[in-house]
Structures are given as C-alpha cells and as structure tokens.
C-alpha cells in the first residue's frame, strides 16, 4: 500500500457520507495524495480535484465555507470549527486514521 512506501507522501484517507459516495460513484474509503501541509483545505482541494462532482457539496463555492450541516471528525475529535488551514492530526496526515466527513443528524422532519 502506497501509504507505507518510503520517500513518498502517505495517502490521506477520507470517509464520505453515503450520498456523496453515490454522487462521486465511490465505493468505500477515498485515498488521496496530499502534499504537506495536510489540512482540511488541502484535503478538500485534493478531493474536489479528483471528484469534481463534489464541488459545492461539502463547502460553498467561492467562499469555501463548510456547509452548515456537515462536520469534520478525526481521531475522535470534532474538527469542524477549526480554521481550515490548521494541520490535521498526524495520524490523519500519515494515513493511519481517516478524516470523517459526516452529515449532521438533523432535518428529520421530512
């Protein structure tokens, strides 16, 4: 697996919610090459470059603000409110733990 190869950038693992996996025609986890620094912004940049159909679904066009009903979790921490340029936990950068993009449990009235 590429994440364990010496002298190459580890793969960042991303878990997407069901509807975004369907939209991007993805089965399972996404593995992305992300050059340092590994941040929410650089991971999403890489994700949207590989899956352009996801643009606008996780963060807004132009402002790149996180959509209100999505949250970012990793290593049992809620990273949603962290600045997007903050480094992600080392375990995420090293591909040992995934970054979870999760739909908020809200909107059940419909």
Partner 1 sequence: MSKVRVLVGTRKGAFILTSDGKRDKWEVSGPFFAGWEIYHMKGSPVDPDRIYASQTSSWFGQILQASTDGGKTWFQPGVKPEEAGPPAFPAKISNRFVYDTSDATGKPLTTHQWYDGTQHPWEFKRVWHLEPSLTDAGTVYAGVEDAALFRSADGGESWQELSGLRGHGTGPDWQPGAGGMCLHSVILDPSDPQRIYIAISAAGAFRSDDGGASWKPINKGLYSKYIPNPTAEIGHCVHHVAMNPKRPGVLFMQKHWDVMRSDDAGDNWTKISGNLPTDFGFVIDIHSHEPETVYVVPIKSDSEHFPLDGKLRVYRSRTGGNEWEPLTNGLPQSDCYVNVLRDAMAVDTLDKCGVYFGTTGGQVYVSSDAGDTWSAIVHDLPAVLSVEVQTLA
Of 4 and 69, the one with the shorter C-beta distance to partner 1 is 69
Beta bridge partners of 71: 102
Site for partner 1 in 34-93 (CB under 8 A): 46, 48-53, 55-58, 60-62, 67, 69-70
Other beta carbons less than 10 A from residue 20's beta carbon = 20
Q: How far apart are CA 79 and CA 69, in angstroms?
A: 14
Alpha carbon distances (Å) from 55 to 14, 95, 97: 15, 23, 24
Binding of residue 17 to partner 1 (CB under 8 A): yes
Interface with partner 1 (CB under 8 A), residue total 29
Query: Minimum Å distance from CB 47 to partner 1?
Result: 10
For residue 9, what are its two tokens? 């950038």
Which residues would be at the binding site for partner 1 (CB under 8 A)?
17-20, 23-25, 46, 48-53, 55-58, 60-62, 67, 69-70, 103-104, 106-107, 110
């Amino acid at each position: 697996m590429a994440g364990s190869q010496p002298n190459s950038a580890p793969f960042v693992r991303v878990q997407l919610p069901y509807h975004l996996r369907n939209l991007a025609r993805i089965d399972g986890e996404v593995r992305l090459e992300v050059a340092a620094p590994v941040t929410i912004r650089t991971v999403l940049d890489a994700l949207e470059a590989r899956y352009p159909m996801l643009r606008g679904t996780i963060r807004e066009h132009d402002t790149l603000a996180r959509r209100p009903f999505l949250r970012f979790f990793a290593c049992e921490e809620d990273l949603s409110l962290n600045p997007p340029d903050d480094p992600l936990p080392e375990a995420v950068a090293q591909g040992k733990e995934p970054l979870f993009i999760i739909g908020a449990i809200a909107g059940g009235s419909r």
